[in-house]
Amino acid sequence: MMSSIRLQLKPFTCNDAEECYGCITPTLTKYMSWDPPQDRIAFENIWRTWLITIKDESDWVFVIRNQLNDEFLGLVGFHQAKQSRPELGIWIREDRHGFGYGKEAVTAIAHWASQHFNFEAFIYPVAIENDASRRIAESLNGTPVYCSQQPKYKSMTYLIPKT
């Protein structure tokens, strides 16, 4: 578990599933490579995989909670942790957008990962139209390295140095 000024971040557990599932909407996932799970059973198959990869430290999904009231805010990921360029990812529940939680959570995970893992740099893919996520990458000295067409959007991948 780790914390930042306003946030508490801890590895996802089965106890987080219901709150998490309730916040995944089609509009939230507009700029994500995945779509909302069709139902709770489909989501359970997803999060059970997260538990395995967290345990073997190959892929981390952290729950973001408000330190003041323990409110579920979203998830932040440190993916492909054993690769030379692991990936950072974030989503914040829609009714909490615009408060800087995403930047704070990604910054905290980047610092934690830089201290605990050996790798070259992070990659951070974002939809080109997702200005908020692009600002997160740029706040961490991310440099755009390539664009690609994804099924749902055009993507920009940033290279972010270790912190």
DSSP assignment string, 117-141 = ---SEEEEEEETT-HHHHHHHHHTT
**Within-domain flag for 160:** no
pLDDT band at 150 (very low <50, low <70, confident <90, very high): very high
| CB neighbourhood size of 120 (10 A) | 12
Q: Please report the sign of the dihedral spanned by the C-alpha atoms of residue 35, residue 38, residue 39, residue 40.
A: negative
**Within-domain flag for 102:** yes
Check residue 1 and give its pLDDT.
83
Answer yes or no: is pLDDT of 65 > 90. Answer: yes
13 contacts 7 by C-beta, under 8 angstroms: no
- Compute φ and ψ for 57, nearest 5 degrees: 60, 30
Task: Provide the domain count of the chain.
Answer: 1
**Within-domain flag for 139:** no
Q: How large is the greatest C-alpha to C-alpha distance in the chain, in angstroms?
A: 40
pLDDT digits (tens, 9 = 90+) for 20-45: 999 999 999 999 999 999 999 999 99
114 contacts 122 by C-beta, under 8 angstroms: no
Answer yes or no: is pLDDT of 56 > 90. Answer: yes
pLDDT digits (tens, 9 = 90+) for 125-148: 999 999 999 999 999 999 999 999
Cα distance between the two ends of the chain: 19
**Mean pLDDT throughout 60-80?**
98
Check residue 159 and give its pLDDT.
98
**Within-domain flag for 110:** yes
**Averaged confidence pLDDT in the chain:** 97
H or E segment and range at residue 112: helix 101-116
**Within-domain flag for 90:** yes
Residue type, 56: D
> Which range marks the domain in which residue 64 is found?
2-122
Kindly report the CATH number assigned to the domain that includes residue 70: 3.40.630.30
d(CA 141, CA 121): 11
**Mean pLDDT throughout 152-156?**
96
Structure tokens at 76: 């932040």
H or E segment and range at residue 156: strand 154-161
**Within-domain flag for 155:** no
